[in-house]
Structure 1
Amino acid sequence: MYALCDQRSFYASCEAVFRPDIRGQAICVLSNNDGCVVALNDQAKAAGVKKFEPFFKQRQLIQRAGVHTFSSNYALYDNISSRIMKTLQDHTPSVEIYSIDEGFCDLSGIPAEDLKPLGRSLRQTVWNEQRIPCGVSIAPTKTIAKLGQYATKKIPKIDGVAVLTHPHQWEWLARRVPVAEVWGVGRRLNATLTSMGVVSAHDLALLDKSLARKIGGLPLARTIRELNGEPCIPMELNPPNKQQIICSRSFGTKLYQLEDVLESVSTFASRAAEKLRSQDSLAGRVSVWLMAGQHQRAGLSEASSVNLPGGSDDSRRIAREAVAIAKRLYRPGGRYIKAGVELVDIRPREFWQMDLLNREGETNKSLMPVVDKINRIYGRDTVMLARQSGASRFSMKQEFLSKSYLSKWNEIPVISC
């Protein structure tokens, strides 16, 4: 059996954790540079706020309805997510972290009569320890567990816990769930299935498997088997290493000067190298792209890349190569709105063969791990490349950013007694 713990309106709920004065009120969270509404709670939906709609179009509505607005605070969300996943790991045999707000728990060996009490205990413990509301759905397959989340949201009397242990239970639910809500059914596949008369999850469960393979390949056939109670998707306790690492961002203001562009590229290269080291891999190629504003002679986007002979995870080397590329791409007079750095040809360190003609990186192998350790203990950018010092000039627009309650000493909540 699997349990899926899904945090409700996670970003919005995180913003209310250290603000008990706004709990139960309408909250929305904006995307990078405060562009679009990317998260909102039920109260904000009731006020008429639309998800994925530009903020400037809804600003008057949001202000008139008294909706509390926040810029994305990813450090806070990641810290709270890590604590929730630790709670799940403490109370279940094993946990697969599926996303920042979802975790699959393996409940193998737990008696059937204990499943519902366990689900209620998980839900209550997450609330007691982190003040984040969540729904818990328990089923014999991960796809049915995903389906169960529909019930935790739409059926109030089950009080956020759905236990689907028998076929008649998940079949009853599947008849009421649109096929678009099934895990793995995207927009295009949904349109194809709907045109064939497959409008509910139950219709999909009855679809012929050979026909399903023609329409959606093995993934759709596997989904159908899962909907019929046959486990086909195992737990991934150790997610595979990334084969591509991208660090990019739209700037809070347009950049005109070469030095500002190079500082942004150096920062993104350093961030990408840090992610690369976290999985103990080396990259064999680095790419850089610059995007300029529309309606100008400098062109909309340019990109280039170079090889890293022998592979590298050294922020200094990767940033140096990225900066050299950016210098070639830069055009005077351009109004640059975005830049990005991409690392590819990524392989585990032990699988790399050193380049006999380029032995750069064999010395000072311990430097980067020491830098990472210092930054983990004392905060990001405690130690950084010299060119990163002006990063504030291209930082994101975050007009409504909340405090970093869990990651900055000067922003730790203060209680006055």
Structure 2
Amino acid sequence: MFGLIDGNAFYCSVERVFNPALHGEPVAVLSSNDGCAIARSAECKALGVKMGQPIHEVSPEVRRRLKILSANFALYGDMSGRVVSVLRDLFPSVEVYSIDESFVDMTRVPDRLEAGREARSRVLQWTGIPTCVGIGPTKTLAKLANKLAKSTPQGVVQALPESSEVAAFPVEDVWGVGRKWASRLGAEGILTAGDLVEADPETLRARYGVVLARTQRELQGVVCAELEETEPQRKQIVVSRSFGREVASQEDLAQAVATFAVRACEKLRARSLQAGGVWVWLHTNPFKTGAKQYHPSKAMQLIHPSSDTREVLAVARSLVRSMYRQGYAYKKAGVGLLDLSHGDVHQADLFSGMDPRSAKLMAVMDQANRRFGRGSMSLASAARRPGQSPKWAMRQESLSPAYTTRWDQLLKVR
């Protein structure tokens, strides 16, 4: 048996933990550069704000009623970790599915509904985050139960294959179906999860493939996806951002790419991986009418797999120089680390040896940044000048303080 614990409007709930004045108010958290709504409180949804809707498309009357906040991902990630730590105390196995969702193992739990209520109560008491709990014999049924739980006062629901709630559940809301498939299934008379369960499996597999066939089996109570306590090894790591405003100089563009490369390498080392190649891309603004468009992309292999930020930066900056063209206004850039492998696997090169000091140097940088904050120690090409924000910095006009990750922004109680 699986349980799915999901934070309700997670980003909004985190903001409310540290700012109680937001309770009962319509809260909208915006994406990078304050573009689109990526989290909405129930009050915000009631005003008609859609998920992913650009904030400028919301009517001025509604915007005046909203409490609009910039996304504070560092804060949300830290609070997510605290929720997960509570769940690890309660359940033998936990799979962190996303920043606001975790699957837990309830196989040996005698009273699953009571366990769900206890998890919900403890997470709320210890972190302030309201949650809902879905329970089922498969991950798909647990996900379905979680959606049902959101509309109940107790917030905990168990879904079994034979239950009437499963039979009547809209097929477009089933995990793994999606809007495109839901439209095709609806044309064939498959409108509910019950209809999907009863559909001919061979026909379903032939028309939609193995993914939907597995979804059907999971709705029938057959486990097709086990709990994954460890993150599968990634094939690539990508760091990409839209700029707060367009940049035109090669220096500004190179600094942005260098900053993204540094962050990508930090993620790489945190997973004990190394990269065999580097990919860089640049974009002008495709939504700017009349502007000249340019969207270059290049990749280059490293001489040998590495997690050394210096080596990745040298390649990334070289790629920027080769792609840069004057006369264009760049709006977005990104860095990808490719051909990932475990850090203990080394392929020697006949003409180029590995720097024996590399691992120790990177370890010192990572330790300093963990202790004193990201960016405390960096390389000159990616370093920001004290007291100055780079031209490409994201627009975050309503960013809340880093209440849990920076000493100078801790909540003060008077």
Q: In which range does the TM-score fall when normalised by the shorter chain?
A: over 0.9
Match of 1:193 among 162, 185, 192: 185
Partners of 2:161 and 2:219 within 8 A in 1: no
Aligned AA (1:410): D
SS at match of 1:174: helix
Counterpart CA distance in 1 for 2:9 and 2:344 is: 41
Alignment CA distance shift 1:336-1:86 (3 Å): same
Aligned to 1:251: 243
Stretch deviating more after TM superposition (54-63 or 273-282): 54-63
Asked whether the 8 Å contact 2:266–2:366 carries over to 1, the reply is: yes
Q: Report the counterpart of residue 95 of structure 2 in structure 1.
A: 96
The one-letter amino acid paired with 1:275 is K
**How many equivalent residue pairs?**
408
User: Mind listing any 5+ residue stretches in structure 1 that lack a counterpart?
Assistant: none
Distance 1:281 1:296 in 2: 43
Q: 2:157 aligns with which of 159, 162, 187?
A: 162
Q: Where in structure 2 are the equivalents of 1:287-366 lying within 5 Å?
A: 287-293=279-285, 294=288, 299-366=293-360
Identify the residue that residue 271 of structure 2 maps to in structure 1: 279
Distance in 2 between the 1:308 and 1:296 partners?
38
Are residues 27 and 77 of structure 1, via their aligned partners in 2, closer, same or farther at CA, if it must alter by over 3 Å? same
Q: Which amino acid aligns with 1:56?
A: H
Q: Which of the residues 109, 113, 117 maps onto 2:114? A: 117
Corresponding residue number in structure 2 for 1:372:
366
Per the TM alignment, residue 364 of structure 1 is displaced from its structure 2 partner at its CA by: 2.9
Hey, what does 2:45 align to over in structure 1?
45
Task: Name 2:11's counterpart in structure 1.
Answer: 11
SS of 2:85's equivalent?
helix
For the residue of structure 1 that corresponds to 2:21, the secondary structure is helix
**Aligned-residue identity in percent:** 38
Report the secondary structure of 1:263's partner residue: helix
Q: Please report how far the alpha carbon of residue 372 of structure 1 lies from its aligned counterpart in structure 2 after TM superposition.
A: 0.7
AA of the residue aligned to 2:197:
A
* 8 Å contact from structure 1 (residues 312, 361) kept in 2: no
SS of structure 2 residue aligned to 1:306:
strand
The answer to whether the 8 A contact 2:141-2:218 is kept is yes
Q: Equivalent residue for 2:383? A: 389
Question: Partner of 1:135 in structure 2?
Answer: 132
SS at match of 2:109: coil
Please say if 1:236 is aligned against 2:234: no
1:79/1:297 CA distance change after superposition, 3 Å = closer
Matching residue of 1:23: 23
How far has the Cα of 1:78 moved from its partner?
0.3
Whether 1:407 and 2:401 are equivalent positions in the alignment is no
Cα displacement (A) at 1:167: 4.2
Partner of 2:335: helix, strand, or coil? strand
User: TM-score normalised to the size of structure 1?
Assistant: 0.94
More divergent stretch after superposition (211-220 vs 267-276): 211-220
**C-alpha distance in 2 between matches for 1:76 and 1:46:** 26
Q: Secondary structure at the match of 1:388?
A: coil
Render the CA deviation track for 1:85-124: whole Å, top value 9, x for unaligned: 010000111100001000001012122xx21111111111
Structure 2 counterpart SS, 1:405: coil
Aligned equivalents of 1:54, 1:296: Cα separation in 2: 21
Q: Is the 8 A contact 2:308 2:358 kept in 1?
A: no
Cα pair distance change 1:392/1:132, threshold 3 Å: same
Q: When you count helix as a share of all residues, which structure comes out higher?
A: 1
Cα offset, 1:295, TM superposition: 5.8
For structure 2, the residue ranges without an aligned partner over 5 or more in a row are: none
Of the structure 1 ranges 390-399 and 88-97, higher mean CA displacement relative to structure 2 is found in 390-399
CA RMSD of aligned residues (A): 1.6
> Could you tell me which residue of structure 2 aligns to residue 206 of structure 1?
198
Letter in 2 for 1:10: F
Whole-Å Cα distance in 1 between the matches of residues 121 and 301 of structure 2?
52
Aligned partners of 2:278 and 2:338 also within 8 Å: yes
Q: Secondary structure, in 3 states, of the residue corresponding to 1:119?
A: helix
CA distance in 2, matches of 1:184, 1:297: 39
Shift of 1:247: 0.9
AA of the residue aligned to 1:395: A
Aligned mates of 1:168, 1:134 — CA distance in 2? 26
What TM-score comes out, normalization by structure 2 length? 0.95
Displacement of 1:297 after TM fit? 7.6
Is the 8 Å Cα contact of residues 249 and 338 (structure 1) preserved in structure 2? Answer: yes
